[in-house]
Amino acid sequence: MTPILSKSAAAELVVAARIRKGLTWTAIAEAIDAPPVWTTAALLGQHPLSPEQAAAVCSLLDLDGSVEESLRLQPSRGIDPALLSDPTIYRFNEALAVYGPALKELIHEEFGDGIMSAINFKVDIARRADPDGDRVVVTFDGKFLDYRW
C-alpha cells in the first residue's frame, strides 16, 4: 500500500505546479470559489479542501490523485520553526509580540472577558497606495467568544 503524501510534500508540488503554470494564488482561489487567503493557506497545508475543491485544484495544476488525497486531509496546524527565519512570517510574529497585549486589553475593554475566535474567522489582505510606499493591510475578522463561568 502506498503511503499518503504528507501535507508539506503536497504543498511543495502545488507551489511548483502553480509557478510552472504561471497562475496566481488568486486565480486558483477564483477557480474553486474560495477566498484567496484561505485558499493559499489550505494549499500550503493549513486547511482541508473539500473533495470537489481538491479535484478542481489538481485538474487545474495537472497534479495526481496523491496530491488530491493529501489536500483533503485534516492538517496539523502550526508554524514550522524553520519558517520563523522567513522575514515576512517573523514580522507577523513580531507585530503580535509587540501589539498582542494591547489588542488583548482593547478586546476585553470593548467586548468583555473573552477571546477572538480563530475558528469562526476570516482573514484578508489588501494593498493601499501611500505616497511613502504602498501599505499592506491585513484584516483579522474573528467572532468574539465570551468566557462563561
| Angle, vertex CA 111, rays to CA 108 and CA 114, nearest 5 | 60
Say which CATH architecture domain 82-146 belongs to.
2-Layer Sandwich (3.30)
Q: Is 77 a residue of the active site? A: no
Please state, for a pLDDT cut of 90, what percent of the chain lies above it.
70
Q: What is the DSSP letter of 66?
A: H
Tell me the C-alpha to C-alpha distance, in Å, between residue 34 and each of 57, 85, 149.
12, 29, 37
- Residue 114: Cβ within 10 Å count: 14
Q: Is 117 a residue of the active site? A: yes
Q: Which of 91, 105, 109, 135 is catalytic?
A: 91
Task: State the pTM of this model.
Answer: 0.76
Amino acid 57: pLDDT: 98
pLDDT in tens, 38-76: 999 899 988 999 999 999 999 999 999 999 999 999 988
Amino acid 86: pLDDT: 87
Matching CATH number, 7-71, of 1.10.260.40, 1.10.286.10, 3.90.1150.10, 1.10.630.10: 1.10.260.40
C-alpha closest to that of 120 among 140, 102, 103, 99: 140
Which of 47-56, 91-100, 101-110: highest mean pLDDT?
47-56
Q: Is 72 a residue of the active site? A: no
Amino acid 143: pLDDT: 97
Q: Which of 20, 77, 117, 135 is catalytic?
A: 117
pLDDT band for position 78 (50/70/90)? Answer: confident
> Could you tell me the three cell numbers for 25?
494564488
Q: Which of 20, 94, 105, 135 is catalytic?
A: 94
pLDDT in tens, 113-140: 999 999 999 999 999 999 999 999 999 9
Amino acid 85: pLDDT: 84
Domain boundaries, the chain: 7-71, 82-146
